[in-house]
Amino acid sequence: MRDAFINTLMAVAREDSRIFLLTGDLGYSVLERFQQEFPDRFINAGVAENNMIGMAAGLALEGKKPIVYSIAQFISMRCVEHVRLDICLDGADVKLVGVGGGLSYGAQGPTHHATEDLAVMRALPGMTVVAPADPIEADLATRAAIAHDGPVYLRLGKNGEPKVHQTAPPFILGKAITLREGKDVTLIATGGLVHAALKAADILAAKGIQSRVVSMHTVKPIDAEAVVRAAAETRAIATIEEHNILGGLGGAVAEVFAESGQRGVPFRRFGLPDRFVHEVGSQTYLRRLYGLDPERLAAALASWLASAHGLP
């Protein structure tokens, strides 16, 4: 996703001289091309993320379009007060790009895990929160975020994420993408776990359970229509995210669901427990440990659906 982001950013920057890129002394092997081509529009703020947010807000208020790039945990948690007051309070046109969402930096521990960022960014007034599923969505999300007038938090993985799409789908902020239809359960996923949801749906299909799979790339504003439609057209709803079970995608969908008037549709959130992840290992290892790989997701979903609805 990082490569898709920087490729798209450079293409847009060639057409729009207002675009600036700021980073907090990282992005090596990713951002150098931008620095070399646009040296006057590249700022390395050093390990001073809060100052970097203030610089970006100032640029935005002067009519520029600053893109701020850092590790997702740093840009969302370390800088939250400055993001709230310098960016959101004024509705400044700043795009925050958090790389390494979820457990991408698995072996580096809780200091680098971005597992509360969606909840924090969702709570900020005026902030749009986007977590693309694959490099193709990352390209589309980058373009949409830059075109959007106002603060955006763009949560990316790192590199090497598998493709969910073979061709570019229609992409509108706030509108989910339905990847597969099914009548038994709707799997609403975001970010890198959309691919896991699709693979889990394949396993469920072999058991006779038909799954609708939705990429909810925009966590705020959530696509309430897609949630209500899923509740009306399928027999159960599950959310899947690489984030604390509280406050992220599952919380956003639950809020819509609770206020929709729909009753009698089983709902369950799949994500990380409400504690820090102290185990050490790769993202793949940690996903498996916490039941977020396709096989364990499918087993947990099948067990839940059997108890909730007697499926298959």
> Regarding beta strands 218-220 and 95-99, do their DSSP bridges make them parallel or antiparallel, or are they unpaired?
unpaired
Which residues share a beta bridge with 19?
65
Q: Which part of the chain has CATH 3.40.50.920?
A: 177-309
Q: What is the largest CA-CA distance in the chain?
A: 62
Task: Give residue 215's pLDDT.
Answer: 98
Inform me whether the pLDDT recorded for 28 exceeds 80. Answer: no
Residue 306 has pLDDT above 80, yes or no: yes
The Cα–Cα gap between 284 and 80 comes to 28
Give mean pLDDT, residues 3-30: 93
Q: Alpha-carbon distance 86 to 201, whole Å?
A: 43
pLDDT of residue 29: 80
Range 271-300 average pLDDT: 96
pLDDT-derived band at 263 (thresholds 50, 70, 90) equals confident
pLDDT tens per residue, range 10-19: 999 999 999 9
| Model confidence at 145: pLDDT above 80 | yes
Written as six digits, the tokens of 13 are 């920057």
- Mean pLDDT, to the nearest integer, of 83-112? 96
| Residue type at position 235 | R
Which band of pLDDT confidence, cut at 50, 70 and 90, is reported for residue 270?
A: very high
What CA–CA distance (Å, rounded) separates 69 from 22?
Answer: 6
* Options 3.40.710.10, 3.30.70.20, 3.40.50.720, 3.40.50.920; CATH of 177-309: 3.40.50.920
pLDDT average, residue stretch 263-281: 94
Q: What CATH superfamily classification does 2-155 receive?
A: Thiamin diphosphate (ThDP)-binding fold, Pyr/PP domains (3.40.50.970)
Query: Span 137-156, mean pLDDT?
Result: 98
Using 50, 70 and 90 to split pLDDT, how confident is the model at 307?
A: confident
136, 189, 229 from 200: Cα distances, Å: 21, 11, 22
Write out the H or E segment, with its range, that includes residue 56. helix 49-61
Which residues in the chain are classed under CATH 3.40.50.970?
2-155
